[in-house]
C-alpha cells in the first residue's frame, strides 16, 4: 500500500506544523513523503522493542506512542509520549545501534515509516541533509537535558506544570488542547507518586488551568500554565522550538 492516499493536504499541513519537519527544504520533504510507507498499530501494539534493529524514521499521524523502558520485573518507566505530528527514530540513523526503548501504541495509531534503506539512498545523494537530521536529534537532546534538570532541582508542582506545557506546546495550537494520557502515566514520566500527581493536577484544575478526566488531561489556559511553570527567557526560547520554524528554502 502506498502512503500517497494518506498524505492529504490536511495531513501535509499537520506534518509541517512540526518544528523540525516545518523547517525542511521542499526537496527533503518530497524525498521523505513520496517514499514513506503507511503503518497502522492497534492499541497496545509495539512499534518496536528495546534492542530491535534500527529500521528508519517514523512520523505519527494519528493516535500516540508511549516511549518507555521496562525492567525484568515488569516495572515501567515512561519517558515520553509521541503524538502527531512528531517524528522519532533518528538516533539509530546516526549510530546504527539497536533501539534504546520500547515504543507502544496507546490506542489506534497511524504512522508514516521511512525505511533505513531509503534514508541511506537520500543521504548518499544529498549529504547536506545530514544536518537536518542532526537538528532533529539535537532538539530531542536539549529537551532531555531540561527534563533531567527539572527532575533534580524543581519541586513536584513546577515539574508537572513544565511537562504539561511541553506536551501542550508539541500538540500545536496555542489554545486549549487535549493530552491523551492518564494521571498515572504523567506521574510515571516525572517520577511522582499517584497521590502527588493527583494533588497537583487538582490544584491546577481548581484554578481553571486544566480539566482532568479518565485517560486525558485538557489544558484550558496555556498562558496561566506558562506563568505557573516559571519559565526563564531561555526556557521560553527553547519551548518556542516546538512551534513551526520558517522553511530554509521556498517550497514548490
- 178 in helix, strand or coil? strand
Residues of the chain with pLDDT under 70: 1-2, 171-175, 238-252
Q: Which residues pair with 112 in a beta bridge?
A: 38, 59
pLDDT score for 92: 92
pLDDT score for 205: 96
103 & 170 share domain: no
Contact between 70 and 100 (Cβ < 8 Å): no
With respect to residue 2, please indicate whether it lies within any of the assigned structural domains: no
Contact between 129 and 28 (Cβ < 8 Å): yes
- State the CATH number of the domain containing residue 206: 1.10.10.10
pLDDT score for 172: 61
Give the model confidence (pLDDT) of 22-77 as tens digits: 999 999 999 999 999 999 999 999 999 999 999 999 999 999 999 998 887 878 88
Distance CA 8, CA 5 (A): 7
Distance CA 46, CA 27 (A): 31
pTM: 0.81
134 & 70 share domain: yes
Cα 21–22–23 angle (5° rounding)? 90
25 & 120 share domain: yes
187 & 95 share domain: no
118 & 237 share domain: no
Domain of 215, in residue numbers: 155-242
- State the CATH number of the domain containing residue 71: 2.60.120.10
With respect to residue 247, please indicate whether it lies within any of the assigned structural domains: no
Last residue of a domain, one of 145, 163, 193: 145
193 & 119 share domain: no
pLDDT score for 146: 84
With respect to residue 250, please indicate whether it lies within any of the assigned structural domains: no
Give the model confidence (pLDDT) of 89-102 as tens digits: 999 999 999 999 99
130 & 162 share domain: no
Residues in the chain: 252
134 & 179 share domain: no
Contact between 174 and 212 (Cβ < 8 Å): no
Amino acid at each position: 500500500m502506498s502512503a500517497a492516499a494518506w498524505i492529504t493536504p490536511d495531513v501535509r499541513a499537520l506534518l509541517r506544523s512540526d518544528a523540525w519537519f516545518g523547517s525542511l527544504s521542499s526537496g527533503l520533504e518530497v524525498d521523505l513523503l513520496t517514499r514513506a510507507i503507511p503503518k497502522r498499530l492497534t492499541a497496545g501494539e509495539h512499534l518496536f522493542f528495546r534492542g530491535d534493529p534500527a529500521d528508519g524514521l517514523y512520523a505519527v499521524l494519528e493516535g500516540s506512542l508511549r516511549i518507555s523502558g521496562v525492567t525484568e520485573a515488569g516495572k515501567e518507566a515512561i519517558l515520553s509520549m509521541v503524538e502527531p505530528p512528531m517524528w522519532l527514530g533518528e538516533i539509530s540513523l546516526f549510530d546504527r545501534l539497536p533501539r534504546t526503548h520500547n515504543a507502544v501504541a496507546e490506542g489506534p495509531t497511524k504512522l508514516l515509516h521511512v525505511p533505513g534503506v531509503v534514508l541511506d539512498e537520500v543521504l548518499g545523494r544529498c549529504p547536506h541533509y545530514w544536518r537536518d537530521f542532526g537538528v532533529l536529534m539535537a532538539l530531542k537532546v536539549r529537551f532531555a537535558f531540561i527534563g533531567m534538570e527539572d527532575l533534580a532541582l524543581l519541586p513536584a508542582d513546577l515539574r508537572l506544570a513544565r511537562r504539561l506545557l511541553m506536551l501542550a506546546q508539541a500538540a500545536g495550537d496555542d489554545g486549549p488542547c487535549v493530552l491523551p494520557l492518564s494521571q498515572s502515566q504523567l506521574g510515571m514520566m516525572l517520577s511522582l507518586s499517584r497521590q502527588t500527581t493527583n494533588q497537583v493536577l487538582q490544584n491546577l484544575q481548581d484554578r481553571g488551568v486544566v480539566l482532568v478526566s479518565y485517560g486525558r488531561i485538557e489544558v484550558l489556559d496555556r498562558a496561566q500554565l506558562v506563568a505557573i511553570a516559571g519559565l526563564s527567557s531561555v526556557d521560553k526560547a527553547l519551548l518556542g522550538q516546538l512551534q513551526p520554524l520558517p522553511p530554509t528554502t521556498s517550497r514548490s
